[in-house]
Structure 1
Amino acid sequence: MSSPSSEIFRRGVQIQKRILLAWSAALVVLALAVVGAWPSMESSGALEDFTSGVSPEVAAAFGIDQISSASGYLKGNLYAVLLPLLLGLMAVSATTALTGGDEEAGRLELLLALPVARRRVFLLRFLCVAFGLAFTSVLVWLAVYGSVVTYDMDVSTGGVAAVTLTVALLAVVHAGIAYAVVGFGLGRGPALGVAAGVLIVGYLLHAIAPMSDALKPLANVSPWEWALGSDPLLNGIPWGGVALLVAVAVAVVGVGTYAVDRRDIKNA
């Protein structure tokens, strides 16, 4: 017989199953399309002229400063902006739907009637999102890894695993921010807006702040910088950045869990 906690987790995973599969399929197709275009792009020589006329600072901001190499191509077209942004939005939307959305619609009332602490119900919903992110990230990693091997790209397979890990943790951090906002009772809409806003501002700090000597220190407060600043595709897992991402994720989830246990739950 399953415990109430395992049943809550199972239901949470089942609720997001369709949207999770849709996101996973879309991101896998994106990864396959990006890597699949490499042979033709390399043979045509078009990538060598891609950044002509673009300043090195701007090229670096968008991750295309080394786009003519296999690793630079993969970074610029997938890992520098597109995958982190999409995976982050997936995490934020799933978190707000399973927590604030279900609370506002009254769908959490039955779960809260179970002999399980309110904080555990919300925390289990967050763990459902983390499970979904892990599932999607593994599928993307497998797609990129298989494609890199198939096309014999000069890319470290360990680097692919490292950058996929840091991008996944980046998404978990922003899911945690959304969770914390819901924890304080601000609802799905504000949580979605705050977390998505932090995601975008963090990218801007990571990408644009280094262009100015005065703003450059601000890049260090961006989770994007912790995840991608040391170029994990080339240099492997940035353990300091990973530690920061995990610490911040644990902190914001802890704050959200503490807050939700000390407020009234909304009724539909």
Structure 2
Amino acid sequence: MSSPSSEIFRRGVQIQKRTLIAWSAALVLLALSVVGAWPSMEKSGALEDFASGVSPEMAAAFGIDQISSASGYLKGNLYAVLLPLLLGLMAVTATAALTGGDEEAGRLELLLALPVARRTVFLVRFLCVAFGLAVTSALVWLSVYGSVVSLDMDVSGGGVTAVTLTVGLLAVLHAGIAYAVVGFGLGRGPALGAAAGVLVVGYLLHAIAPMSDTLEPLSNVSPWEWALGSDPLVNGVPWGGVALLVGLAAVVVAVGTYAVDRRDVKNA
């Protein structure tokens, strides 16, 4: 007989199954289309022309400063902005829906009647989101790595693994922020707004702040900088950045779990 926690996890995964399939399919198709366009783009020389028309500062901000190389192409068209942003939005919306959304709709009442602590119900729901992010990240990694190998691109498998790991952890962190907001009882809407806002501001600090000598130090507080600042696609896993992402995610999840155990749960 399964435990209440495992049943909550199973049910949480089942609830987000359709959404998870849709997000995974969309991100895999995005990855395949980006990598698949490389041979024609390389032969046409269009990438060099494109990069030459952008200032060095703007090129660095959007990750296209080395777009004519295979690794620079992947970075600029997939890993610098699109994949982290989309995976982060996936994480935020799923977390807000499974926690704050279900609480506001009264769908958590049956689960809370089980012989399991309230904090466990919410924490397991967060783990369902983390599981979904891991599955999606693994599928994207498999798609990119398989395409890179089949097209004989000058990109290391270790680099693809490293950048997929950091982008996935970046998404988990923002899921944790949404979870913490729900933990304090602010609901689905504020959780979406706060976590998405942190996601966007973090990108701006990572991309735009380095353009100014005055603002440049602010880029160091951006989770995007921890995940992508050292160019993991080329240089491998940034262990310091990984430690910061995991550590901060653990802190915000712990704070949210502590808060939810000390407030009243909303009814529909």
Query: TM-score, normalized by length of structure 1?
Result: 1.00
The residue number in structure 2 matching 1:64 is 64
- For each residue in 1:33-59, what CA deviation from the matched residue of structure 2 results, as whole angstroms up to 9, or x when unmatched? 000000000011111111223111110
CA distance in 1, matches of 2:54, 2:65: 9
CA distance in 2, matches of 1:54, 1:115: 60
CA distance in 1, matches of 2:183, 2:80: 31
Q: CA deviation at 1:203?
A: 0.1
Aligned AA for 2:242? V
CA distance in 2, matches of 1:194, 1:212: 26
SS in 2 for 1:65: coil
The residue number in structure 2 matching 1:261 is 261
CA distance in 2, matches of 1:167, 1:53: 28
CA distance in 2, matches of 1:32, 1:231: 21
The residue number in structure 2 matching 1:128 is 128
Q: Which moved more, 1:166-175 or 1:42-51?
A: 42-51
The residue number in structure 1 matching 2:81 is 81
Tell me whether 1:155 sits opposite 2:150 in the alignment: no
SS in 2 for 1:64: coil
Q: CA deviation at 1:83?
A: 0.1
Q: Which moved more, 1:19-28 or 1:45-54?
A: 45-54
Question: Pairwise mapping of residues 18-167 of structure 1 onto structure 2 (< 5 A)?
Answer: 18-167=18-167
SS in 2 for 1:201: helix
The residue number in structure 2 matching 1:2 is 2
The residue number in structure 2 matching 1:200 is 200
- For each residue in 1:214-264, what CA deviation from the matched residue of structure 2 results, as whole angstroms up to 9, or x when unmatched? 000000000000000000000000000000000000000000000000000
Aligned AA for 1:143? S
CA distance in 2, matches of 1:83, 1:253: 23
The residue number in structure 1 matching 2:186 is 186
Tell me whether 1:232 sits opposite 2:238 in the alignment: no
- For each residue in 1:96-115, what CA deviation from the matched residue of structure 2 results, as whole angstroms up to 9, or x when unmatched? 00000000000000000000
Structure 1: unaligned runs, 5 residues or longer: none
The residue number in structure 1 matching 2:252 is 252
CA distance in 2, matches of 1:33, 1:154: 18
CA distance in 2, matches of 1:47, 1:20: 33
Structure 1 segments (4+ residues) deviating >3 Å: none
Structure 2: unaligned runs, 5 residues or longer: none
Aligned AA for 1:10? R
Q: CA deviation at 1:88?
A: 0.1
- Report the aligned-residue RMSD: 0.4
CA distance in 2, matches of 1:193, 1:54: 32
Query: TM-score, normalized by length of structure 2?
Result: 1.00
Aligned AA for 2:95? T
- For each residue in 1:123-182, what CA deviation from the matched residue of structure 2 results, as whole angstroms up to 9, or x when unmatched? 000000000000000000000000000000000110000000000000000000000000
Aligned AA for 1:61? A
Aligned AA for 1:8? I
CA distance in 1, matches of 2:48, 2:9: 49
Aligned AA for 2:110? L
The residue number in structure 1 matching 2:221 is 221
Q: CA deviation at 1:200?
A: 0.2
CA distance in 2, matches of 1:217, 1:44: 39
Q: CA deviation at 1:65?
A: 0.2
Percent identity over the alignment is 88
Count of residues paired in the alignment = 268
